Structure 1
Amino acid sequence: MRKTLLTLLISVVLASGCTQTVETPALLPLPSQVSSHTSTYTLRDGYGIDCQDAKLNFIADYTSRMIHDLTGVSSSPDGKAEVRLTLTSDSLQSEGYRLRIGRKGIDIEAASPAGIFYGVQTLRQLLPRQEEASPSCTLHGIDIQDSPRFGWRGLHLDVSRHFFTVDEIKRFIDVMAMYKFNRFHWHLTDDQGWRIEIRSHPELTRLGAWREGIGFPENEKLAFPTEDVHPYGGFYTQEQIRDVVAYAAERMIEILPEIDLPGHSTAAIHALPELFCRPDKRLAVWMHGGVSEGVMCAGRESTYAILEDILGEVCALFPFEYIHLGGDEAPKKGWEKCPQCQARIRAEGLANENELQAYFMHRLEKFVNSRGKRMIGWDEIMEGGLSPTATVMSWRGVLPGLEAARGGNDVVMTPGSYLYLNHPQSYNRVTNTSEGILSLKRVYGFDPAPEADLTPEARAHILGVQACQWSECTPNEQILYYKEYPRAIAVAEMGWTAQTDRNWEDFQARLKRHLGLLSLYGIPYGAPSRELQIALVPDAAGKPCIRISAETDEPIHYTLDGSEPTQESPVYEGPVAVSGDCTVRAQIFADAPACPAEQTIHFHKALCKPVSYALPYSTNHDGGGDFAMTDGCFEKWQGFEKQDADFTLDLGRPTTIDSIRTRWMYDISDWVLRPREVTFSISEDGKSFTELLRRKLVNPEGQYDKGVEEVSCPVGGRPVRFIRVEARSEKVNPAWHSSAGAPCWIFIDEVVVE
C-alpha cells in the first residue's frame, strides 16, 4: 500500500489489524469526559468530509490524509458526508471540542478551528492501524467532550548550539501538533550562532551564523554521533521563517521567537563589535556551553538603535502577540568597567548594574509594545525591577513564577529541574552515566499552578507550561526525539488535563499502549528511566523501612550490607524493615545491567520522625520530601530558595538526647550559600522553646568555594520532644557575586539527633 507522509511526519511503518477488541482508549493527553458505547461505525472508501466553513478546508484535507495513512481508507470529494467538522457557537471553550463516533459517522464540533483540529488529533488515536490497504475500517462508538486546562502549552527548541533545518523544524511541529501543543518557542540567537536573517544588518548571518567547527566535545563523550564540519552553522532566511510560521499556524501553533538580550550575545557581537562595551576586543562565536562575557553594552545609544532595527524586522516576521527578549545570565562585570554603562547609570538615576539591565529591558519592551507586541523574558527580568506588563518565563525554579503571579504579572512555568528535556531521561548504557537524569515520572509530577501556593487571582496569571530543549548535547534530530519523547507527552497532559484528573499510574498504563503510535511514525523515543531511587520511609507504625522504586517493572535485586548485588540477590517486592545502620545497594539486570544505586542509612533518635515546616522547602530540591530531615540519608539536599528555613521535629515523646547536628551544603558559584545564622531550640510541649545555639556563618567576599559546613551543639542528656531548627538565608546573592541580586539557596540534608 502506498503511504503519503502526513504533514512531513518522519516515516510510517504500519502495525496491527483493523478489527480490535473493545477497550478503554489510551488517549493522551487525557480528555475531560469520555464515554464509550457499544455502537460501531464502519468507514469505507469513498466517504466524504463535510466542513461547511472555508476556515476548515485545511483541516479537512489533513484529516483525510491522516485517516488514509493510518487505515488505508480513502475519502472522495463526492462521497457521502460521514465525517463532519462543524463550527458551533454554543458553550464550548475556544480550544474545546466534542467528538462523537456513532452509527452515522464521525462528528467533531468546536467553537474554533483550533478546537476542530484538536478533535482530529484525538480521532488519530482512536483509529485502528492497518498493515495493508483496505476498503473499510471499523471504529468503536465513543463520546468525548474536552477542553484544555491552560492556554499556553509549549515546547522550546534551541537552534543556536546545534542547527536544525527547516524540514526538521516542520517535523518537530508536526509531532507537537499530535499532542495539542500550541506554542513553539524558537530560540534563534545565542553565543554559538545567530540563526535569523536581518536584512538591515546582514553581518549577523554572514559572520554570526557560523563557527569554526561543531564544537561541544562532550557529545563525543556521551557517544552521541556528530559530524564535524568547518565552518559549522546555518540560518533561516526571512522567506523560510514566513513559511514555517504559516506551516505552524495551519496546525494551530503560534511561534514565539527569542532574540536573547543583553547576554548570550557573543555571536551578535562577533558580527557587530560595536554592540560590545569593548569594540576593540573581537569575540569569536562560541563552540562550547556556559555563560559568556558576550553581553551587549547598555550604555551606548547606538546599541539601542541596532536592536530596534533587529526587533523591528522580527516583529514583522512573527504574527504572535509575544516576542521573547531573553534577559537571562548576563554577567555585569563588563558594565562595571564600561564608561558608557556607568554614565548611563548616573544619567538615568539608577542604583546599580541590576537596575541598568532593568532599564535596558524596559526600554526594549516599550519598543516592541510600539510594534503591537508584548515582551516575555526569563525570570532574571524580575531583578532590578519588573515591568508590570512583562510576562515572566520561570526557569530557575517555581518561586520566581509564583512571585511574579502574586504581583500581577503573567507567567509561563518552565522550571529547569522539571521541564528541561535536554537532561537525559534514562541511564546511558554507552557511557555508564546517570548524571542529571530527569525521569518521565518527575516530569509528569509537576503542577504548574499549585492551589496551595496561589490565590485564585494569582493562579489566573499562570498562562501555562512549557518544556525546553537546550541543544548543547542535542546534536541531531535522532537525539532530539530520543530526549523529547515520551516526556513531552507528559508535558502535554500537564498543560491540557485538569490536575485533579491526572494520575501517574494511569498515565503510565495509557502511555505503554500508546507508544506504538510513536513507533508507527518513526519517532525514536527514549527508554523509560531505569534509575533506582532508595529511600527510608516509615511504615504504618512509624518503623523505618527501605523503599526502592523505578519507572520500569523490571526485577530489582538488592543487598543491605553494602555488597554488590547479583542476579542471585533478593528481589525487591516491597518495603524492607531495617533496625540499624546499613548500606543499601540495588541494581536491575534485565537485558543489560542498569545504573546501580547505593544509599547508606544512618540510624539516630529522630529517624522517621515527623517534621512540620513553618516555611516550605522548594519542590525543585525537595531532598526526599517531608521526611528528608529524618530519613538517615546524607547528601540528599533539601533546598530553600530566597527564603529562610524554619521547621520542627517531633520525637513523639520526651527523649533523652546528647547532641543535635546539621549539615549545610554551599556552592557559591551555583548560588547555594551558607545560611547567615543557624539556631537550635528545644521544647517538651511544642509551645515553650529554649534556645540552645545561635551560630553565625560567613560567606567570605570574593570566594567561590564549595563544601559542607556542619553546625552542631551538645544537649547534655536532657529530655526533649520537639527540636526547632531555624536558618536565616542571605535570600539573594551578595553585591560582590557575579550574579548579584539573583535568588540564592540554602541546602540542608539531615538533622542528626543522638
Structure 2
Amino acid sequence: MKKIILLIIINLTGVLGFAQEPLTAKYDLMPWPKEIKENKGKFVIDSSLTISITSIKSERVDHAATQFLRRLTNRTGVFLNEGFPLENKKGDIQIQFDAVSKLDIKNNESYTLIVDPSAIKITAKTDVGASRALATLLQLIDNNTTEYFIPGVSITDEPRFVWRGLMIDVSRHFQPIAVLKRNLDAMASMKMNVFHWHLTDDQGIRIESKMYPKLTEQASDGLFYTHEQIKDIVAYADKLGIRVIPEIDVPGHASAFLTAYPELGSKDGYDYQIERFSGVFNPTFNPTIDATYTFLENLFAEITPLFPDEYFHIGGDENEGKHWDESKAIQKFKKKHKLNTNHDLQTYFNVKLEKILNEQGKKLMGWDEIMTPDMPTTAVIHSWRGENEGLAKGGTLIEAAKQGYQTVLSNGFYIDRMQSVVDHYTIEPIGDVKLTEAERERILGGEATMWSELVTPLTIDSRIWPRTAAIAERFWSPKEINNVENMRKRLEVVSFQLEELGLTHIKNRAVILRSMTNNQNITSLLNLSNLCEPLKIYARNLDGIEYKTYSPFNLFADACVADASDALKFNKVASEFVQGGDNKAVIGFFTTWSNDYKSFIQLEKNPKITPLEPLYKNLALVSGLLSEALQTKKISRENLKTIQNTMILLREPVADVELVIVGALNDLTAYCESNYLKK
C-alpha cells in the first residue's frame, strides 16, 4: 500500500495542485503553464535542428517559427544548416494545428508541448495556440558547459482568462510605431492577446481623420498615426495573435477634439485648447445637439473599418459635468427628457453611441462609469475604480458580471502608478466571490494600463516591463500560481529575455544617466538608482501640475524603476542579520555606497545631478557609522544621534524619488542601539 501511495505522489510531481513548487524553482517559465511534467532526457540543440509544420498555411505560425529560430540561434550561438521550413518531411520540431484562428474571445489558445531526446512535438487547436507553444519552448532553452539543450518535459497549457491585455495611452505622450511593435512582441512572448490603444485625450488626437482633417491639423502637434500606419499595427498584432481595441474617449477628456471643433462643446464661447498638463478637465462634448452625434457617427464610420475586432472602447470616464451644469440649454434638455442627473445624461449619450457602433458591427466598451441602470447589458464594462482591497468582495467587476455585463478588470493593474510588482501580482482578479457559470464566463479577463503622463518613448518600456510579465501570469496561469519569491526569481530571467527581444527597459536607464552626467562615469548614479524608486501613485506629479507635455523626462526619477533591485537585496540581508544572521553582506553594501559617494563627488556637477548630492552624502554618512558599529560591535551616543537625525533626512523624497532602504536602515540602527550602545 505504501508503495502505491509513493508511486501516486511521484506521478503527481509537476502536476498543478500537488508538487508544483520544485518545478517552478527549476524552470523560468512565465506565465507558468497549467500542467507540466518532466520526462527523461533532453533535446540537444545543434546545427541539424529543423522545424516542420504539418498543417494548413498560417502566416502567424510561419512568423512565430522564424522568430523562434532567430532568437534560438542568437541565444545559443548555433549555426543552423537548414532550420526552417522543411517540406515533405518531419523536422526535429514538429508543429501541428487544426485551424487558423479568427481572433475573438472564443479563440482557443491551448496547446500541448512534448520534448523528447529525438523530437519536439507541438499540437494545438489553432495557429495561435501553436505560437503560444513556441513562446514557451523558447523559455525552456538551457545549457551546460558544452551544449545547449531543451529539457525533457510534457506541457499541457491553456489560459485562465480569454482577455489578457495591455493598454497604452498615446495621447499624453505620443509613441512611435517602433515603440508599439516592440511592445507587441513582448506581449506575444508573455501570451497576452489584447492591445488596447488609447488614441484620444485632452492632450491630443493621435488618429488621422480624412473626413475631419482639423483633428490632426489643430489638435495633434503633428503627432498622429495615418490610416496606413494603423493598418500596419493591426496586421502586425494579428500576426502575433493579438487583437487591437481602439479607444476614442468621449464625452469627457475632449479638450483636443473641441480645440478643432469648438461648436461641439458644451460651453459657448469657451477658449478650447490642447491641454499641456495632466488631470481631469472640464471640456465635454455637448450630448444634447444632433451635430455631436453626426460628428461621432461619421468619425466612427471612418475609423471602425481600420480595426477588425468587434469591440470598440468609448472611454466614458471622469466626466464631472461642470460645463453641463453651467449650460442653461443643457439643463433645459435634461428637464425635458426627465434626465435627473449628469449620469442620466451620459447614459443617454452612451446609448446613442452604442446604437451607432452596433450599426457598424461593433460592441461598445467603456470604463465603469458607463454602468448605470439604463445602460444595456450589451455594453462591456471596463472596471478601474475602487480600492484594491475591495476586489475580494467583487468591486465593479463582480457587480457588472452579476448584472449581466461582460467585464474586464484593470483596477489593481495601473502600472503607471509605479507600484511594486508584488502589489499587482498578489491581486486575485475574481477573489473568493462565488459566481454562477454564466457570471464567471462574463468576466473576460484584465488589462494592465499604461497611462502616459510621465512617460516618453525613452522610458515607456521601463514603466511597462518587466512588471507586466507578472501581470500576464495572473491572467494566464491557474489561480494557485501565486508564490511571490518564486515569481521574482523567474521574472529576473524573463526581464533579460525581454531585453533580448528588443525592449529598452534595462539599457535605457544607462542612456538617461549618461545624459544626466554629460557622458561621465555613471556607476555611482546607477548604484544609487538601484536603491531609489520614483514616487508612487501620482505623488510625482501631484495634481498634474508639476510636469507638462514637453517637460524633461530624462531625469534621475526616470532612470529609477518600481522595484529597486539592490534595495530588495539589501532589505533582505539586513532582515536576515537582525534575525541572527551574518553581518558581512550588510557591511559589503555599506562599503560600496561609501565608495560610490566618493566617486559621485568627483563628477562634474550640473543642475540635473546636484540635487542628489545631499541624499548621497547622508547615505554615505549613515553607511559609514553603521558599518563601524557592526564591525566593532560598539556605537557611541553621539554616533547614534547622528544616524537618527540623518535618517529623518533620508526619509524625505529627493528629485521625485524615495530611498527605499530606510526601513532596513532603521532596523539596523535599532539593533545597534539595543546591542552595541554602552548603557
1: CA distance between counterparts of 2:502 and 2:660? 26
Q: How does 1:468-507 map to 2 (within 5 A)?
A: 468-476=449-457, 478-507=458-487
Determine helix, strand or coil for the equivalent of 1:499.
Answer: coil
2: CA distance between counterparts of 1:77 and 1:248? 23
> What is the Cα deviation at residue 127 of structure 1?
2.3
Show the counterpart of 2:28: 26
Distance 1:115 1:271, change over 3 A: same
Show the counterpart of 2:617: none
2: CA distance between counterparts of 1:278 and 1:599? 55
Match of 2:160 among 125, 139, 149: 149
> What is the Cα deviation at residue 466 of structure 1?
0.7
Determine helix, strand or coil for the equivalent of 1:330.
Answer: coil
Q: How does 1:217-236 map to 2 (within 5 A)?
A: 233-236=222-225
Match of 1:441 among 422, 425, 428: 422
Q: Deviations over 1:331-379 (max 9, x none)?
A: 2121123244234323432222220011001110111011111111011
Gaps of 5+ in 2: 1-23, 100-105, 507-528, 535-565, 579-620, 632-643, 652-657, 668-679
1: CA distance between counterparts of 2:107 and 2:307? 26
2: CA distance between counterparts of 1:50 and 1:70? 16
2: CA distance between counterparts of 1:364 and 1:201? 18
Match of 1:423 among 404, 407, 417: 417
2: CA distance between counterparts of 1:181 and 1:126? 19
Q: How does 1:326-475 map to 2 (within 5 A)?
A: 326-383=315-372, 385-397=374-386, 398=391, 399-415=395-411, 418-424=412-418, 438-452=419-433, 454-475=435-456
1: CA distance between counterparts of 2:220 and 2:432? 44
> What is the Cα deviation at residue 456 of structure 1?
4.7
Q: How does 1:181-330 map to 2 (within 5 A)?
A: 181-210=192-221, 233-330=222-319
Q: Deviations over 1:54-103 (max 9, x none)?
A: 443442343233223332443144475222111148xx981110011112
Show the counterpart of 1:567: 626
Q: Deviations over 1:146-204 (max 9, x none)?
A: 00000000001000000011121111111111100000010000000000111111111
Determine helix, strand or coil for the equivalent of 2:433.
Answer: helix
Determine helix, strand or coil for the equivalent of 1:116.
Answer: helix
> What is the Cα deviation at residue 488 of structure 1?
0.1
> What is the Cα deviation at residue 593 of structure 1?
6.0
CA contact (8 A) 2:531 2:661 kept: no
Match of 1:66 among 65, 68, 71: 68
Greater share of strand: 1
Q: Is 1:555 aligned with 2:549?
A: no
Report how many aligned residue pairs link the two structures: 505
Show the counterpart of 1:84: 94
CA contact (8 A) 2:531 2:659 kept: no
Show the counterpart of 1:108: 122
Distance 1:340 1:51, change over 3 A: farther
1: CA distance between counterparts of 2:366 and 2:204? 20
Determine helix, strand or coil for the equivalent of 2:115.
Answer: strand
Determine helix, strand or coil for the equivalent of 1:451.
Answer: coil
Show the counterpart of 1:517: 497
The aligned amino acid for 1:26 is D
1: CA distance between counterparts of 2:435 and 2:25? 39
Show the counterpart of 1:53: 55
The aligned amino acid for 2:40 is T
Distance 1:62 1:457, change over 3 A: closer
> What is the Cα deviation at residue 47 of structure 1?
4.0
The aligned amino acid for 1:293 is N
Show the counterpart of 1:40: 42
Determine helix, strand or coil for the equivalent of 2:416.
Answer: coil
Distance 1:593 1:341, change over 3 A: closer
1: CA distance between counterparts of 2:284 and 2:204? 14
Percent identity (aligned): 32
> What is the Cα deviation at residue 123 of structure 1?
1.0
CA contact (8 A) 2:92 2:120 kept: yes
Distance 1:316 1:528, change over 3 A: farther
Distance 1:35 1:529, change over 3 A: farther
Distance 1:388 1:115, change over 3 A: same
CA contact (8 A) 2:60 2:241 kept: no
> What is the Cα deviation at residue 512 of structure 1?
2.9
Determine helix, strand or coil for the equivalent of 1:372.
Answer: coil
Q: Is 1:97 aligned with 2:111?
A: yes
Q: Deviations over 1:426-473 (max 9, x none)?
A: xxxxxxxxxxxx111111001111123645543332110111001010
Show the counterpart of 1:508: 488
2: CA distance between counterparts of 1:206 and 1:284? 13
Q: Deviations over 1:587-625 (max 9, x none)?
A: 99xxx9645249999xxxxxxxxxxxxxxxxxxxxxxxx
CA contact (8 A) 1:51 1:57 kept: no
The aligned amino acid for 2:482 is R
1: CA distance between counterparts of 2:505 and 2:626? 29
Q: How does 1:571-650 map to 2 (within 5 A)?
A: 594-597=660-663
CA contact (8 A) 2:185 2:501 kept: no
The TM-score, its normalising length taken from structure 1, stands at 0.62
> What is the Cα deviation at residue 128 of structure 1?
4.1
2: CA distance between counterparts of 1:502 and 1:529? 26
Q: Deviations over 1:195-229 (max 9, x none)?
A: 0111111111111112xxxxxxxxxxxxxxxxxxx
Q: Deviations over 1:93-139 (max 9, x none)?
A: 811100111123221111011111110110111124899xx9x8532
Tell me: higher relative CO, structure 1 or 2? Use CA pairs within 8 A at least 6 residues apart: 2
Distance 1:66 1:496, change over 3 A: same
1: CA distance between counterparts of 2:266 and 2:492? 54
CA contact (8 A) 1:323 1:375 kept: yes
Q: CA RMSD in A?
A: 3.5
The TM-score, its normalising length taken from structure 2, stands at 0.68
Determine helix, strand or coil for the equivalent of 2:472.
Answer: helix
2: CA distance between counterparts of 1:240 and 1:141? 43
Q: How does 1:159-198 map to 2 (within 5 A)?
A: 159-198=170-209
> What is the Cα deviation at residue 278 of structure 1?
2.9
2: CA distance between counterparts of 1:192 and 1:360? 23
CA contact (8 A) 1:300 1:340 kept: no
CA contact (8 A) 2:310 2:362 kept: yes
Show the counterpart of 2:138: 124
CA contact (8 A) 2:407 2:445 kept: yes
Distance 1:260 1:593, change over 3 A: closer
1: CA distance between counterparts of 2:488 and 2:334? 54
Distance 1:138 1:596, change over 3 A: closer
The aligned amino acid for 1:470 is W
Determine helix, strand or coil for the equivalent of 2:317.
Answer: coil
2: CA distance between counterparts of 1:52 and 1:120? 15
Distance 1:77 1:550, change over 3 A: closer
Q: Deviations over 1:282-302 (max 9, x none)?
A: 311011101111111111110
